[in-house]
Amino acid sequence: MTSKKMLIDASHPEETRVVVLSGSRLEDFDVEVESRKRLKGNIYLAKVTRVEPSLQAAFVDFGGNRHGFLSFSEIHPDYCQIPIEDRQALVAEQDPAEKADADGKSVDDGEANGEKLETIGGDDSEEVEAHWVKPSLRRYKIQEVIKRRQVMLIQVVKEERGHKGAALTTYISLAGRYCVLMPNTARGGGISRKITNGADRKRLKSVLGNLGIPEGVAVIVRTAGINRSKPEIKRDYEYLMRLWDGIRNLTLQSMAPALIHEEGNLIKRAIRDLYSRDIDEIIVNGDTAYRMAKDFMKLMIASHAKRVKKYRETGKSLMHYYHVESQLDAIHLPEIQLKSGGYIVFSPTEALVAIDVNSGRSTKERNIEETALRTNLEAADEIARQLRLRDLAGLIVIDFIDMEVRRNNVKVERQLKEAMRNDRARIQMGRISLFGLLELSRQRLRPSLIETSSEPCPHCSGMGIRRSTESAALNVLRAIEEEGNRNRSKEIIVHVSTE
């Protein structure tokens, strides 16, 4: 079996990089840039600055670069100024949802919506929304129950992007190693939808039932908790409850806007979310990072602390020593070469990400159909990997090589689905159409690699092309002619490229 290791490079304070290697092959990658701190998961004490009736939402000052967006559906009834009788009725509405969860019929079983879309992958710390029991406030308008300058405890669920502010919620969730705590929801929670074995689900529900979870708090057991004992899950739950108590105490002492809780930095998140028991060692470059990783591993899984090792090679950097740097450089390129001779081209646009599969020099098979099938199958594996590494999200359209035989299309769909099975992002995938196109949507977990490590070219405005010399020259001549016809200048001075 191929050995797996996690490398953490914190040798430069401006940037921290984490990679997971399977043998020498890059399997996962995350980066945190000091100048672009992550907001998602952070909890703030915030103040409503504007209530927008047309959007049924509020804009909230939480201390970010721009005001955050808080939808009415994401506001807990406790913040709504409504009569006590109505509040009690809203609480009563939660009971059927709680019973459904207790009967194992909740959303966490992973049923796909629609006939042709299948939901695959997904990190169980991102499943929280499916477990929220959100009372209906449809009889009210936001302007009737939420007022300007009102103070709320909010959590960032989507990062700021471009001119858009961060998306916010008042339904707080705290992710641990084995559990996700939802401290202000109805009693319920459940089991990760990725745990499908009935016996495991029954045992974990029994463990949850014996934790003594207080009223108004819910807990989800994550996939990592599937083979964990009751004491291990209980220890994680108690850690999250202590964390929540600290958040409440700090909230009472703070003035809005204020940061109340910062989601762990990249090193802590990597150990919590990316680390698994099949990773043999975690090698860390950087004294402070090594101590942080060691201490956090002792807190999460004390018996695995010995797997955290300090990088001691002085002749080469960590990433060069394990031959990772060239693989990291490759994920910035639009074109990826396949071993068969084919290649894939990635073209992110404002609306979607277009991916084109080409056979290139792939001519080993007996006929065109076999060549197309072989190339498409290889491309399916590589596309799933590249989507993870580049963190491309939103609508994605893949143009596979056309195949005549329908069962070959099914093979490619199955291969892509299997390759995406362990993706931490939630993915909805369609089927290959008559035009050879496959559409899928991928959840945005963090800013893409392009957003993190690049900026638009000032000369072409990010288009990647510019006018040819002939076209630019004619355009200048037309501008001179137009200005001359207006008879308003004695002379015209033109600055052009020396080309």
pLDDT tens for 219-251 read 888 887 888 888 888 888 888 899 899 999 999
Quote the pLDDT of residue 127: 55
Strand order in the sheet with 190-191: 174-175, 179-182, 218-221, 190-191
Spatial contact of 416 and 438, defined as CB atoms under 8 Å apart: yes
Q: Is the link from the previous residue into 257 a cis peptide, with omega within 30 of 0? A: yes
In the chain, domain spans:
4-37+265-325, 42-261, 333-453
Enter the tokens of residue 263.
Answer: 């989601």
Question: What are 197-225's pLDDT values in tens digits?
Answer: 888 888 888 888 888 888 878 888 888 78
Is the per-residue pLDDT at 475 higher than 90? Answer: no
Average pLDDT over residues 392-405: 91
Enter the tokens of residue 240.
Answer: 């999250």
Spatial contact of 74 and 56, defined as CB atoms under 8 Å apart: no
Average pLDDT over residues 16-43: 86
Quote the pLDDT of residue 153: 92
User: What beta strand segments (E) does 115-273 contain?
Assistant: 118-121, 151-158, 167-169, 174-175, 179-182, 190-191, 218-221, 258-261
Spatial contact of 384 and 418, defined as CB atoms under 8 Å apart: no
Is the per-residue pLDDT at 98 higher than 70? Answer: no
Report in angstroms the alpha-carbon separations of 134 from 8, 94, 146: 39, 8, 17
Is the per-residue pLDDT at 374 higher than 50? Answer: yes
Average pLDDT over residues 43-65: 89
* 195/151: higher pLDDT: 151
Superfamily of domain 4-37+265-325: eRF1 domain 2 (3.30.420.60)
pTM of the model: 0.76
**Percent of the chain topping pLDDT 70:** 88
Report in angstroms the alpha-carbon separations of 186 from 76, 101, 142, 171, 183: 11, 11, 22, 11, 9
Quote the pLDDT of residue 283: 92
User: What beta strand segments (E) does 235-277 contain?
Assistant: 258-261
- C-alpha–C-alpha distance, residues 487 and 462, integer Å: 37
Average pLDDT over residues 320-347: 89
Quote the pLDDT of residue 122: 65
- pLDDT classification of 449: cutoffs 50, 70, 90: confident
State the amino acid at position 496 in one-letter form: V
* Lowest-confidence pick of 57-71, 108-122, 166-180: 108-122
Is the per-residue pLDDT at 141 higher than 60? Answer: yes
Enter the tokens of residue 445.
Answer: 């977990």
Quote the pLDDT of residue 101: 47
Cα–Cα–Cα angle for 405, 408, 412, rounded to 5 degrees: 145
Quote the pLDDT of residue 355: 94
Spatial contact of 338 and 344, defined as CB atoms under 8 Å apart: yes
Q: What H or E segment, with its residue span, contains residue 410?
A: helix 406-419
Q: What average pLDDT is seen over the chain?
A: 82
Q: Please enumerate in sequence order all residues whose Cβ is within 8 A of that of 418, keeping only pairs 6 or more positions apart, or say none.
A: none
Average pLDDT over residues 36-49: 87
Average pLDDT over residues 353-358: 93
- C-alpha–C-alpha distance, residues 419 and 350, integer Å: 26
- C-alpha–C-alpha distance, residues 283 and 304, integer Å: 13
Is the per-residue pLDDT at 187 higher than 70? Answer: no
* Lowest-confidence pick of 36-40, 101-105, 232-236, 405-409: 101-105
Q: 42-261 has which CATH code?
A: 2.40.50.140
Quote the pLDDT of residue 249: 92
For residue 385, give the nearest of 28, 24, 7 by alpha carbon.
28
Q: Please enumerate in sequence order all residues whose Cβ is within 8 A of that of 71, keeping only pairs 6 or more positions apart, or say none.
A: 56, 57, 167
Is the per-residue pLDDT at 464 higher than 80? Answer: no
Q: State whether residue 303 is helix, strand or coil.
A: helix
Average pLDDT over residues 314-343: 87
